[in-house]
Amino acid sequence: MDRSRRISLIIFAGIIILFILSWIIKSTTLLNVGTESLLSIRDAFFITFAAFLTLAIFSFLYKDNPYYKFAEHLFVGVSAAYWMCVGFWSTFVGNFIPKVSTTLSNFFEVPPKEFDIFYFIPLILGLMLLMRLSPKGGWLSRWSLAFIVGTTAGLNLIRYLRTDFITQVSNTFIPLLVDWNGIGPFFSDFSLSASGQFVMTLGNWVIFIGVFSGLIYFFFSKEHKGFFGHASRVGIWVLMITFGASFGYTVMGRVSLLVGRLTFLFKDWLGLIS
């Protein structure tokens, strides 16, 4: 046995021993707080296993290793089955079965609904989708795929046209002078508060110019020269602010997840913080 293999085995044995020790200690702790013995052993196993998986994923910070790969592959299998079960119980049993069969509804203990023969169509389309597995009948799956693609395309066309285009364009055409009563009141009531006339007016100008210059930046059919070039330069400034803000948001989100995982390790697993 070569040296590196021996070291790997020693590390593996150490992890197993630590896991068992942690499991025993956690079970004892749970027993002391009044949990039933069998439950405490089971709960302790799950908490220890979750901690092991958390540390296995963190170990990737050092380098790719077998423990990280183990956690990664386990995640793929478990989450695939999880979503299959969610789909089965919520959609198939919750939505489909009650509308097609009273017997099956009673079997699955879901209240039956009025029989609807049209619900056999998605069943047929679904079965046709599974024909993809057959080497000869694979082309039949195109029919169900065509149904999904067509419906989604029609739905998206309207949805994106409404929310991402019409609504956004309409919201960009805003008054460029907010509550305007003349130059005198503007200076006499001047304030830098967020709800003040100056800040509101400035905000509307920034939005109006920002949207147009941003759009110009993304318009590549004309060379970015002259006025177009200047506008596109303003566009990239505004875009950079957005990218910075998104970056800041992402960092905050990830750090809060990290805090959550550390809290789990130090509170739920090790019990070091109350």
**For residues 53 and 212, what is the distance between their CA atoms, to the nearest angstrom?**
48
Q: How far is CA 239 from the centre of its chain?
A: 24
| Span 176-235, contacts to another protein by CB under 8 A | 194, 199, 203, 206-215, 217-218, 235
Shortest distance in whole angstroms from residue 27 CB to another protein: 15
Q: Identify the residue among 89, 115, 180, 266 touching another protein (CB under 8 A).
A: 89
Site for another protein in 46-85 (CB under 8 A): 46-47, 49-51, 53-54, 57-58, 60-61, 69-85
CB of 205 to another protein, least distance (A): 9
Q: How far apart are CA 46 and CA 79, in angstroms?
A: 16
CA pair distance 239, 237, nearest whole angstrom: 5
Looking at residues 155 to 184 of the shown chain, list those that interact with another protein (rule: CB under 8 A). Answer: 155-158, 160-161, 163-165, 168-169, 171-172
For residues 182 and 258, which CB has a smaller minimum distance to another protein in the complex?
Answer: 258
Closest CB 82 distance from another protein, rounded Å = 6
Residue 183 Cβ, how far from another protein at the closest point, in Å?
23
Cα(98)–Cα(116) distance, rounded to whole angstroms? 9
What Cα–Cα distance (Å) separates residue 13 from each residue in 8, 159, 184?
9, 56, 81
* Residue 30 contacts another protein per CB under 8 A: no
Selected range binding another protein among 18-26, 44-52, 181-189, 223-231, rule: CB under 8 A: 44-52
Q: Which two tokens stand for residue 45?
A: 């196993």
Interacting positions 8-27 with another protein (CB under 8 A): none
Residue identified by tokens 């950079």 is 240
Q: Pick the stretch among 13-21, 25-33, 123-131, 224-232 that binds another protein (CB under 8 A).
A: 123-131
Q: Which two structure tokens, joined as six digits, stand for 220? A: 């590549």
User: Is residue 41 at the binding interface for another protein, with CB under 8 A as the rule?
Assistant: no
Min dist. Cβ of residue 126 to another protein (A):
3
Which helix (H) or strand (E) segment holds residue 154: the answer is helix 141-159
Q: What 3-state class would DSSP assign to 111? A: coil
Contact 208, 238 (CB under 8 A): no
Q: Which is nearer to another protein, 70 or 115 (CB)?
A: 70
Smallest gap from residue 29 Cβ to another protein (A): 17
Stretch that binds another protein, among 8-16, 18-26, 180-188, 256-264 (CB under 8 A): 256-264
Integer CA distances (angstroms), 174 to 20, 198, 210, in order: 65, 15, 13
> Does 248 participate in binding another protein (rule CB under 8 A)?
yes
- Determine the straight-line distance between the first and last CA of the chain, rounded to whole angstroms: 46
